[in-house]
Amino acid sequence: MSAAGSLEVDELVKLHRDHLWLHLTNHRAFESQEPPIMAEGNGFILKDIYGREYVDGLSGGVWAVNVGYGRDSIIQAIAGQLKKLPYYAGSMATPPYILLAQKLASLLPDLPKVYISNSGSEANEKSYKIARQYFSEKYPDKKKYKIIYRNRDYHGTTLGALASSGQQERKVKFGPLPEGFAAIPHALCYRCELGKCYPACNIDCARALETVIQREGEDSVAAVIVEPVTAGGGIIPPVAEYYPVLQEICRKYEVLLIMDEVVTGFGRTGRMFGHQHYAVEPDMITLAKGLASGYMPISATVARKSIFDQFLTELEDPTGYFRDISTFGGCAGASAAALENIRIIEDEKLAENSAQMGAYLLEGLKELEKYPVVGEVRGKGLLAGIELVEDKKSKKPLHETHLARIVAEAKQAGVIIGRMVRSVPDYNNVLYTAPPLIVTKEGIDRIV
Ligand code: PLP
Protein backbone atom coordinates (compact mmCIF):
# COMPACT_ATOMS: atom_id res chain seq x y z
CA MET A 1 0.00 0.00 0.00
CA SER A 2 1.28 3.48 -0.77
CA ALA A 3 1.77 6.32 1.69
CA ALA A 4 -1.15 8.07 -0.01
CA GLY A 5 -3.77 5.64 1.23
CA SER A 6 -5.31 2.55 -0.26
CA LEU A 7 -3.97 2.99 -3.79
CA GLU A 8 -0.76 1.33 -4.93
CA VAL A 9 1.97 3.68 -6.14
CA ASP A 10 1.68 2.35 -9.71
CA GLU A 11 -2.06 3.00 -9.76
CA LEU A 12 -1.62 6.57 -8.51
CA VAL A 13 1.03 7.27 -11.13
CA LYS A 14 -1.22 5.91 -13.87
CA LEU A 15 -4.17 8.03 -12.71
CA HIS A 16 -1.86 11.04 -12.54
CA ARG A 17 -0.73 10.48 -16.12
CA ASP A 18 -4.29 9.84 -17.34
CA HIS A 19 -6.12 12.74 -15.74
CA LEU A 20 -4.10 15.50 -14.15
CA TRP A 21 -3.44 18.87 -15.73
CA LEU A 22 -0.99 20.49 -13.32
CA HIS A 23 -0.16 24.15 -12.75
CA LEU A 24 2.90 25.45 -14.62
CA THR A 25 3.70 22.03 -16.04
CA ASN A 26 4.51 20.64 -19.46
CA HIS A 27 3.18 17.10 -19.12
CA ARG A 28 5.56 15.89 -21.81
CA ALA A 29 8.09 15.64 -18.98
CA PHE A 30 6.16 12.74 -17.46
CA GLU A 31 6.49 10.63 -20.58
CA SER A 32 10.10 9.96 -19.57
CA GLN A 33 10.03 10.63 -15.80
CA GLU A 34 7.94 9.50 -12.88
CA PRO A 35 5.69 12.36 -11.75
CA PRO A 36 6.52 13.80 -8.33
CA ILE A 37 3.67 13.11 -5.89
CA MET A 38 3.92 14.35 -2.31
CA ALA A 39 2.23 12.30 0.37
CA GLU A 40 3.07 13.55 3.86
CA GLY A 41 4.65 16.39 5.76
CA ASN A 42 5.92 16.92 9.26
CA GLY A 43 7.58 20.12 10.40
CA PHE A 44 9.80 21.11 7.48
CA ILE A 45 10.20 17.54 6.17
CA LEU A 46 8.18 16.14 3.28
CA LYS A 47 7.74 12.56 2.12
CA ASP A 48 6.67 11.51 -1.39
CA ILE A 49 4.67 8.44 -2.37
CA TYR A 50 7.87 6.65 -3.32
CA GLY A 51 8.98 6.90 0.31
CA ARG A 52 11.72 9.52 -0.22
CA GLU A 53 12.18 12.34 2.29
CA TYR A 54 13.02 15.97 1.57
CA VAL A 55 13.86 19.15 3.42
CA ASP A 56 11.17 21.51 2.15
CA GLY A 57 13.16 24.54 1.06
CA LEU A 58 10.05 26.07 -0.56
CA SER A 59 7.31 25.95 2.10
CA GLY A 60 4.90 23.94 0.03
CA GLY A 61 6.35 24.84 -3.37
CA VAL A 62 5.15 28.46 -3.38
CA TRP A 63 6.35 29.92 -0.04
CA ALA A 64 3.07 29.37 1.76
CA VAL A 65 3.44 26.88 4.62
CA ASN A 66 4.95 29.29 7.13
CA VAL A 67 4.15 27.26 10.27
CA GLY A 68 5.22 23.93 8.77
CA TYR A 69 3.31 20.66 8.41
CA GLY A 70 1.36 18.59 10.93
CA ARG A 71 -0.12 21.38 13.04
CA ASP A 72 -2.81 19.56 15.01
CA SER A 73 -4.16 22.74 16.58
CA ILE A 74 -4.97 24.23 13.16
CA ILE A 75 -6.61 20.99 12.08
CA GLN A 76 -8.69 20.96 15.28
CA ALA A 77 -9.66 24.62 14.83
CA ILE A 78 -10.87 23.86 11.32
CA ALA A 79 -12.70 20.68 12.33
CA GLY A 80 -14.34 22.37 15.33
CA GLN A 81 -15.62 25.19 13.16
CA LEU A 82 -16.80 22.88 10.37
CA LYS A 83 -18.87 20.95 12.89
CA LYS A 84 -20.48 24.14 14.23
CA LEU A 85 -21.04 25.88 10.92
CA PRO A 86 -18.93 25.06 7.87
CA TYR A 87 -20.08 27.87 5.71
CA TYR A 88 -22.18 30.89 5.21
CA ALA A 89 -21.73 33.45 2.42
CA GLY A 90 -19.27 36.27 2.98
CA SER A 91 -22.06 38.86 2.95
CA MET A 92 -23.06 37.49 6.39
CA ALA A 93 -20.47 37.33 9.18
CA THR A 94 -19.55 34.34 11.34
CA PRO A 95 -17.64 34.55 14.66
CA PRO A 96 -14.24 33.38 13.31
CA TYR A 97 -14.57 35.78 10.38
CA ILE A 98 -15.11 38.67 12.84
CA LEU A 99 -12.27 37.56 15.12
CA LEU A 100 -9.90 37.21 12.18
CA ALA A 101 -10.71 40.74 11.03
CA GLN A 102 -10.06 42.01 14.55
CA LYS A 103 -6.75 40.10 14.73
CA LEU A 104 -5.52 41.49 11.42
CA ALA A 105 -6.57 44.98 12.45
CA SER A 106 -4.60 44.62 15.68
CA LEU A 107 -1.49 43.64 13.68
CA LEU A 108 -1.99 46.48 11.17
CA PRO A 109 -3.73 49.24 13.16
CA ASP A 110 -3.57 51.80 10.33
CA LEU A 111 -5.52 49.40 8.11
CA PRO A 112 -8.45 48.32 10.27
CA LYS A 113 -10.91 47.36 7.50
CA VAL A 114 -10.60 43.75 6.38
CA TYR A 115 -12.06 42.23 3.20
CA ILE A 116 -11.66 38.46 2.94
CA SER A 117 -11.36 36.37 -0.23
CA ASN A 118 -9.70 33.13 -1.35
CA SER A 119 -6.39 33.71 -3.11
CA GLY A 120 -3.62 36.23 -3.55
CA SER A 121 -4.81 37.08 -7.06
CA GLU A 122 -8.27 37.81 -5.77
CA ALA A 123 -6.98 39.92 -2.87
CA ASN A 124 -5.12 42.06 -5.41
CA GLU A 125 -8.08 42.30 -7.77
CA LYS A 126 -10.20 43.49 -4.83
CA SER A 127 -7.63 46.16 -4.01
CA TYR A 128 -7.82 47.47 -7.60
CA LYS A 129 -11.61 47.49 -7.52
CA ILE A 130 -11.58 49.26 -4.16
CA ALA A 131 -9.10 51.87 -5.45
CA ARG A 132 -11.11 52.49 -8.61
CA GLN A 133 -14.47 52.78 -6.89
CA TYR A 134 -12.95 54.86 -4.06
CA PHE A 135 -11.91 57.54 -6.52
CA SER A 136 -15.09 57.21 -8.51
CA GLU A 137 -17.11 57.97 -5.33
CA LYS A 138 -14.73 60.71 -4.25
CA TYR A 139 -14.27 62.43 -7.60
CA PRO A 140 -17.26 61.48 -9.77
CA ASP A 141 -16.02 63.75 -12.55
CA LYS A 142 -12.53 62.27 -12.77
CA LYS A 143 -11.45 59.03 -14.39
CA LYS A 144 -8.84 58.00 -11.83
CA TYR A 145 -8.52 54.28 -12.50
CA LYS A 146 -5.05 53.32 -13.71
CA ILE A 147 -2.86 50.95 -11.74
CA ILE A 148 0.93 51.21 -11.83
CA TYR A 149 3.02 48.13 -11.13
CA ARG A 150 6.74 47.41 -11.00
CA ASN A 151 8.71 45.29 -13.42
CA ARG A 152 9.51 41.82 -12.09
CA ASP A 153 6.75 41.93 -9.45
CA TYR A 154 4.00 39.31 -9.66
CA HIS A 155 0.45 39.91 -8.49
CA GLY A 156 -1.49 36.91 -9.69
CA THR A 157 -3.03 34.80 -12.36
CA THR A 158 -6.47 36.35 -13.03
CA LEU A 159 -6.53 38.73 -15.96
CA GLY A 160 -6.38 41.99 -13.98
CA ALA A 161 -3.74 40.70 -11.61
CA LEU A 162 -1.78 39.36 -14.56
CA ALA A 163 -2.06 42.66 -16.43
CA SER A 164 -0.50 44.30 -13.38
CA SER A 165 2.35 41.81 -13.13
CA GLY A 166 5.83 42.81 -14.25
CA GLN A 167 6.81 39.39 -15.57
CA GLN A 168 6.18 39.58 -19.30
CA GLU A 169 6.52 35.88 -20.02
CA ARG A 170 3.54 35.08 -17.83
CA LYS A 171 1.37 37.17 -20.14
CA VAL A 172 2.42 35.52 -23.39
CA LYS A 173 -0.51 33.98 -25.36
CA PHE A 174 -3.12 35.15 -22.82
CA GLY A 175 -3.78 38.54 -24.38
CA PRO A 176 -5.27 40.92 -24.98
CA LEU A 177 -5.16 41.80 -21.29
CA PRO A 178 -7.25 44.58 -19.73
CA GLU A 179 -5.95 48.10 -20.30
CA GLY A 180 -5.24 50.70 -17.62
CA PHE A 181 -1.97 49.29 -16.27
CA ALA A 182 1.53 50.75 -16.65
CA ALA A 183 4.97 49.73 -15.37
CA ILE A 184 7.83 51.36 -13.49
CA PRO A 185 11.38 49.93 -13.43
CA HIS A 186 12.29 47.13 -11.03
CA ALA A 187 14.40 47.83 -7.95
CA LEU A 188 17.25 45.37 -8.47
CA CYS A 189 20.56 47.23 -8.14
CA TYR A 190 22.60 44.28 -9.44
CA ARG A 191 20.97 44.74 -12.85
CA CYS A 192 19.75 48.32 -12.69
CA GLU A 193 17.20 48.79 -15.44
CA LEU A 194 18.29 52.43 -15.76
CA GLY A 195 21.98 51.54 -15.98
CA LYS A 196 22.77 53.45 -12.77
CA CYS A 197 24.71 52.69 -9.60
CA TYR A 198 23.53 52.99 -6.01
CA PRO A 199 23.80 55.40 -4.15
CA ALA A 200 24.72 57.89 -6.90
CA CYS A 201 21.53 56.86 -8.72
CA ASN A 202 19.36 59.10 -6.52
CA ILE A 203 16.87 56.18 -6.35
CA ASP A 204 15.73 57.07 -9.85
CA CYS A 205 13.96 53.71 -10.20
CA ALA A 206 11.46 54.92 -7.56
CA ARG A 207 11.42 58.48 -8.95
CA ALA A 208 10.40 57.01 -12.33
CA LEU A 209 6.92 56.73 -10.81
CA GLU A 210 6.48 60.48 -11.16
CA THR A 211 7.36 60.36 -14.85
CA VAL A 212 4.92 57.50 -15.43
CA ILE A 213 2.12 59.29 -13.55
CA GLN A 214 2.69 62.41 -15.63
CA ARG A 215 2.81 60.40 -18.84
CA GLU A 216 -0.39 58.50 -18.02
CA GLY A 217 -2.17 61.70 -16.90
CA GLU A 218 -1.94 63.16 -13.39
CA ASP A 219 -5.61 62.63 -12.67
CA SER A 220 -5.85 59.16 -14.14
CA VAL A 221 -3.77 57.06 -11.74
CA ALA A 222 -5.58 55.37 -8.84
CA ALA A 223 -2.92 53.16 -7.27
CA VAL A 224 0.57 51.73 -7.30
CA ILE A 225 1.08 48.11 -6.32
CA VAL A 226 4.42 46.63 -5.24
CA GLU A 227 5.72 43.60 -3.40
CA PRO A 228 7.72 44.93 -0.39
CA VAL A 229 10.41 42.42 -1.35
CA THR A 230 9.98 41.07 -4.87
CA ALA A 231 9.76 37.29 -4.53
CA GLY A 232 9.21 35.35 -7.77
CA GLY A 233 10.86 38.08 -9.87
CA GLY A 234 14.31 37.43 -8.40
CA ILE A 235 14.28 37.96 -4.58
CA ILE A 236 14.76 41.72 -4.55
CA PRO A 237 14.76 43.71 -1.30
CA PRO A 238 14.84 47.38 -2.40
CA VAL A 239 17.28 49.75 -0.70
CA ALA A 240 16.06 51.56 2.45
CA GLU A 241 15.40 54.88 0.67
CA TYR A 242 13.22 53.31 -2.03
CA TYR A 243 9.80 53.24 -0.36
CA PRO A 244 9.91 56.70 1.23
CA VAL A 245 10.54 58.11 -2.27
CA LEU A 246 7.72 56.05 -3.76
CA GLN A 247 5.35 57.07 -0.98
CA GLU A 248 6.14 60.76 -1.33
CA ILE A 249 5.23 60.65 -5.01
CA CYS A 250 2.03 58.71 -4.24
CA ARG A 251 0.99 61.36 -1.70
CA LYS A 252 1.83 64.20 -4.08
CA TYR A 253 -0.55 62.83 -6.74
CA GLU A 254 -3.11 61.25 -4.39
CA VAL A 255 -2.30 57.77 -5.59
CA LEU A 256 -3.00 54.86 -3.24
CA LEU A 257 -0.01 52.72 -2.29
CA ILE A 258 -0.92 49.03 -2.23
CA MET A 259 1.60 46.56 -0.86
CA ASP A 260 1.24 42.96 -1.94
CA GLU A 261 2.34 40.97 1.11
CA VAL A 262 1.03 37.70 -0.28
CA VAL A 263 4.52 36.19 0.06
CA THR A 264 6.17 38.57 2.53
CA GLY A 265 3.37 38.57 5.12
CA PHE A 266 3.37 36.60 8.36
CA GLY A 267 7.04 36.45 9.21
CA ARG A 268 8.54 35.41 5.90
CA THR A 269 11.10 38.25 5.78
CA GLY A 270 11.95 38.31 9.49
CA ARG A 271 9.27 40.82 10.51
CA MET A 272 5.57 40.12 10.74
CA PHE A 273 5.11 42.06 7.48
CA GLY A 274 7.70 42.82 4.82
CA HIS A 275 6.93 46.55 4.58
CA GLN A 276 7.91 46.91 8.26
CA HIS A 277 11.57 46.84 7.22
CA TYR A 278 10.98 50.21 5.59
CA ALA A 279 9.73 53.68 6.54
CA VAL A 280 6.50 53.37 4.60
CA GLU A 281 2.78 53.47 5.39
CA PRO A 282 0.76 51.66 2.73
CA ASP A 283 -2.90 52.52 2.12
CA MET A 284 -3.87 48.90 1.47
CA ILE A 285 -2.13 45.57 2.00
CA THR A 286 -2.99 42.22 0.43
CA LEU A 287 -2.36 38.96 2.27
CA ALA A 288 -2.69 35.25 1.39
CA LYS A 289 -0.31 32.25 1.53
CA GLY A 290 1.08 32.53 5.10
CA LEU A 291 -2.27 33.85 6.38
CA ALA A 292 -3.38 30.24 6.92
CA SER A 293 -0.12 28.55 5.86
CA GLY A 294 -1.94 26.52 3.21
CA TYR A 295 -4.18 24.68 5.69
CA MET A 296 -7.15 26.42 4.03
CA PRO A 297 -7.38 28.80 1.05
CA ILE A 298 -7.91 32.34 2.30
CA SER A 299 -6.70 35.86 1.53
CA ALA A 300 -7.37 39.38 2.73
CA THR A 301 -7.31 42.95 1.48
CA VAL A 302 -6.89 45.36 4.38
CA ALA A 303 -7.50 49.09 4.00
CA ARG A 304 -7.42 52.43 5.74
CA LYS A 305 -10.65 53.53 7.43
CA SER A 306 -10.68 56.66 5.25
CA ILE A 307 -10.94 54.40 2.18
CA PHE A 308 -13.74 52.32 3.72
CA ASP A 309 -15.64 55.46 4.74
CA GLN A 310 -15.86 56.58 1.14
CA PHE A 311 -18.18 53.61 0.54
CA LEU A 312 -20.66 54.71 3.22
CA THR A 313 -23.00 56.32 0.74
CA GLU A 314 -26.77 56.86 1.02
CA LEU A 315 -28.66 53.61 1.59
CA GLU A 316 -30.79 54.43 -1.46
CA ASP A 317 -27.67 54.58 -3.63
CA PRO A 318 -27.71 51.27 -5.55
CA THR A 319 -24.01 51.38 -6.54
CA GLY A 320 -22.28 53.31 -3.75
CA TYR A 321 -21.26 50.39 -1.55
CA PHE A 322 -18.56 47.91 -2.59
CA ARG A 323 -20.51 45.55 -4.83
CA ASP A 324 -18.08 42.67 -4.84
CA ILE A 325 -18.62 39.07 -3.77
CA SER A 326 -16.99 35.68 -4.00
CA THR A 327 -18.81 32.56 -2.90
CA PHE A 328 -16.18 31.24 -0.52
CA GLY A 329 -14.52 34.45 0.66
CA GLY A 330 -14.85 34.65 4.43
CA CYS A 331 -15.55 30.93 4.83
CA ALA A 332 -15.81 30.20 8.57
CA GLY A 333 -13.46 27.20 8.47
CA ALA A 334 -10.74 29.11 6.62
CA SER A 335 -11.05 32.04 9.03
CA ALA A 336 -10.65 29.63 11.97
CA ALA A 337 -7.53 28.17 10.33
CA ALA A 338 -6.04 31.64 9.80
CA LEU A 339 -6.73 32.67 13.39
CA GLU A 340 -4.98 29.64 14.82
CA ASN A 341 -2.13 29.97 12.32
CA ILE A 342 -1.51 33.57 13.40
CA ARG A 343 -1.61 32.54 17.07
CA ILE A 344 1.15 30.00 16.36
CA ILE A 345 3.27 32.55 14.48
CA GLU A 346 3.01 34.97 17.40
CA ASP A 347 3.34 32.51 20.30
CA GLU A 348 6.25 30.63 18.77
CA LYS A 349 7.91 33.88 17.68
CA LEU A 350 8.26 32.59 14.14
CA ALA A 351 8.98 36.02 12.64
CA GLU A 352 11.94 36.25 15.05
CA ASN A 353 13.05 32.74 14.09
CA SER A 354 12.76 33.74 10.45
CA ALA A 355 15.08 36.72 11.13
CA GLN A 356 17.64 34.57 12.98
CA MET A 357 17.55 31.57 10.67
CA GLY A 358 17.38 33.90 7.69
CA ALA A 359 20.61 35.60 8.76
CA TYR A 360 22.20 32.16 9.18
CA LEU A 361 20.92 31.10 5.74
CA LEU A 362 22.20 34.24 4.05
CA GLU A 363 25.59 33.89 5.74
CA GLY A 364 25.85 30.32 4.44
CA LEU A 365 24.75 31.24 0.93
CA LYS A 366 27.03 34.32 0.81
CA GLU A 367 29.95 31.86 1.08
CA LEU A 368 28.97 30.72 -2.40
CA GLU A 369 29.78 34.16 -3.83
CA LYS A 370 33.40 33.01 -4.03
CA TYR A 371 32.44 30.87 -7.04
CA PRO A 372 32.72 32.54 -10.47
CA VAL A 373 29.14 31.58 -11.41
CA VAL A 374 27.53 33.13 -8.34
CA GLY A 375 26.80 36.73 -9.26
CA GLU A 376 24.93 37.77 -6.14
CA VAL A 377 23.24 36.25 -3.12
CA ARG A 378 20.40 38.30 -1.65
CA GLY A 379 17.45 37.94 0.66
CA LYS A 380 15.53 38.98 3.75
CA GLY A 381 14.57 36.58 6.48
CA LEU A 382 13.72 33.15 5.13
CA LEU A 383 13.45 34.35 1.55
CA ALA A 384 16.75 34.02 -0.26
CA GLY A 385 18.01 33.86 -3.83
CA ILE A 386 21.21 33.11 -5.69
CA GLU A 387 21.75 34.85 -9.01
CA LEU A 388 23.85 32.65 -11.31
CA VAL A 389 25.93 34.12 -14.12
CA GLU A 390 28.33 32.91 -16.77
CA ASP A 391 30.98 35.13 -15.21
CA LYS A 392 30.92 37.97 -12.74
CA LYS A 393 32.17 40.58 -15.18
CA SER A 394 29.68 40.13 -18.01
CA LYS A 395 26.86 39.14 -15.58
CA LYS A 396 25.41 37.17 -18.48
CA PRO A 397 22.67 35.00 -16.95
CA LEU A 398 23.66 31.36 -16.62
CA HIS A 399 21.52 29.27 -18.95
CA GLU A 400 18.39 27.83 -17.37
CA THR A 401 19.43 24.25 -18.16
CA HIS A 402 22.13 24.58 -15.49
CA LEU A 403 19.61 25.81 -12.95
CA ALA A 404 17.24 22.99 -13.85
CA ARG A 405 20.08 20.54 -13.23
CA ILE A 406 20.93 22.08 -9.86
CA VAL A 407 17.30 21.94 -8.75
CA ALA A 408 17.04 18.31 -9.90
CA GLU A 409 20.30 17.34 -8.17
CA ALA A 410 19.24 19.06 -4.96
CA LYS A 411 16.03 17.04 -5.07
CA GLN A 412 18.01 13.87 -5.60
CA ALA A 413 20.00 14.85 -2.51
CA GLY A 414 16.77 15.34 -0.53
CA VAL A 415 16.32 19.12 -0.64
CA ILE A 416 13.62 21.00 -2.52
CA ILE A 417 14.63 24.40 -3.84
CA GLY A 418 13.25 26.49 -6.71
CA ARG A 419 14.25 28.51 -9.72
CA MET A 420 12.65 31.48 -11.38
CA VAL A 421 10.12 31.11 -14.16
CA ARG A 422 11.46 29.81 -17.47
CA SER A 423 11.87 31.53 -20.79
CA VAL A 424 12.90 34.97 -19.58
CA PRO A 425 16.52 35.33 -20.64
CA ASP A 426 16.91 38.24 -18.25
CA TYR A 427 16.05 36.62 -15.00
CA ASN A 428 15.44 32.94 -15.16
CA ASN A 429 18.85 32.63 -13.57
CA VAL A 430 17.91 32.88 -9.89
CA LEU A 431 17.71 29.90 -7.57
CA TYR A 432 15.67 30.45 -4.45
CA THR A 433 14.70 28.99 -1.13
CA ALA A 434 12.03 29.91 1.42
CA PRO A 435 11.71 27.14 4.01
CA PRO A 436 8.98 27.02 6.69
CA LEU A 437 9.66 29.52 9.48
CA ILE A 438 10.21 26.70 11.98
CA VAL A 439 13.32 25.55 10.13
CA THR A 440 16.37 24.78 12.28
CA LYS A 441 20.08 25.32 11.70
CA GLU A 442 20.36 21.65 10.68
CA GLY A 443 17.67 22.16 8.06
CA ILE A 444 19.43 25.24 6.74
CA ASP A 445 22.79 23.47 6.66
CA ARG A 446 21.23 20.87 4.39
CA ILE A 447 19.77 23.52 2.09
CA VAL A 448 23.08 25.42 1.88
N1 PLP B 1 1.14 38.05 -5.15
C2 PLP B 1 2.34 37.49 -5.02
C3 PLP B 1 3.50 38.31 -4.56
C4 PLP B 1 2.53 36.13 -5.32
O5 PLP B 1 3.75 35.58 -5.24
C6 PLP B 1 1.40 35.38 -5.74
C7 PLP B 1 1.53 33.94 -6.03
O8 PLP B 1 2.59 33.37 -6.04
C9 PLP B 1 0.17 36.03 -5.87
C10 PLP B 1 0.07 37.36 -5.55
C11 PLP B 1 -1.03 35.28 -6.35
O12 PLP B 1 -1.52 34.47 -5.34
P13 PLP B 1 -2.48 33.24 -5.69
O14 PLP B 1 -1.65 32.24 -6.45
O15 PLP B 1 -2.92 32.75 -4.33
O16 PLP B 1 -3.60 33.75 -6.49
Residues 264 and 335 reside in one and the same domain: yes
For residues 193 and 151, the answer to whether their CB atoms sit within 8 Å is yes
Tell whether the model's pLDDT for residue 22 goes beyond 50. yes
Q: Decide which of 312, 347, 382 is a domain's last residue.
A: 347
Q: Which residues of 302-318 are buried (b: 16+ CB within 10 A; e: fewer)?
A: bbbeebbebbeeeeeee
Residues 55 and 106 reside in one and the same domain: no
Tell whether the model's pLDDT for residue 4 goes beyond 90. no
Ligand 1 atom at shortest distance from the alpha carbon of 153: 3
Q: What is the DSSP letter of 281?
A: -
Ligand 1 atom at shortest distance from the alpha carbon of 118: 15
| Mean pLDDT computed over 331-347 | 97
Q: pLDDT, tens digit, for every residue of 278-311?
A: 999 999 999 999 999 999 999 999 999 999 999 9
- Indicate whether 6 belongs to any domain: no
Residues 393 and 320 reside in one and the same domain: no
Residues 59 and 99 reside in one and the same domain: no
Answer whether 59 contacts ligand 1 (Cβ < 6 A): no
Lowest mean pLDDT among 106-110, 276-280, 283-287, 401-405: 401-405
- Which stretch of DSSP H or E encloses residue 384? strand 384-388
Collect all residues with Cβ–Cβ distance below 8 Å to 300 and sequence separation of at least 6: 100, 104, 114, 115, 116, 117, 123, 286, 287, 288, 291
For the chain, the domain total comes to: 2
Ligand 1 atom at shortest distance from the alpha carbon of 288: 15
Percent of the chain with pLDDT over 70: 97
Average pLDDT, the chain: 95
- Indicate whether 13 belongs to any domain: no
Rounded Cα distance between 266 and 331, Å, is 20
Residues 59 and 91 reside in one and the same domain: no
Ligand 1 centroid to 301 CA: how many Å? 13
Answer whether 155 contacts ligand 1 (Cβ < 6 A): yes
Residue nearest to atom 1 of ligand 1 (CA): 155
Answer whether 167 contacts ligand 1 (Cβ < 6 A): no
- Indicate whether 31 belongs to any domain: no
Q: What is the DSSP letter of 283?
A: S
- pLDDT of amino acid 53: 98
Rounded Cα distance between 242 and 207, Å, is 9
- Indicate whether 284 belongs to any domain: yes
- pLDDT of amino acid 2: 46
The number of residues making up the chain comes to: 448
Answer whether 121 contacts ligand 1 (Cβ < 6 A): yes
Ligand 1 centroid to 371 CA: how many Å? 32
| Mean pLDDT computed over 125-144 | 98
Q: Decide which of 312, 327, 347 is a domain's last residue.
A: 347
Answer whether 62 contacts ligand 1 (Cβ < 6 A): yes
pLDDT category, 88, cuts 50, 70, 90?
confident
Range of the domain at 402: 36-65+349-447
- pLDDT of amino acid 7: 80
Answer whether 58 contacts ligand 1 (Cβ < 6 A): no
Q: Decide which of 347, 375, 390 is a domain's last residue.
A: 347
**CATH for 198:** 3.40.640.10
Ligand 1 centroid to 122 CA: how many Å? 9
Residues 191 and 45 reside in one and the same domain: no
Residues 364 and 433 reside in one and the same domain: yes
- Indicate whether 17 belongs to any domain: no
pLDDT category, 1, cuts 50, 70, 90?
very low
Q: pLDDT, tens digit, for every residue of 173-221?
A: 999 999 999 999 999 999 999 999 999 999 999 999 999 999 999 999 9
Tell whether the model's pLDDT for residue 23 goes beyond 90. yes
C-alpha dist (Å) from residue 379 to 55, 56, 204, 323, 355:
19, 18, 22, 39, 11
Rounded Cα distance between 324 and 27, Å, is 36
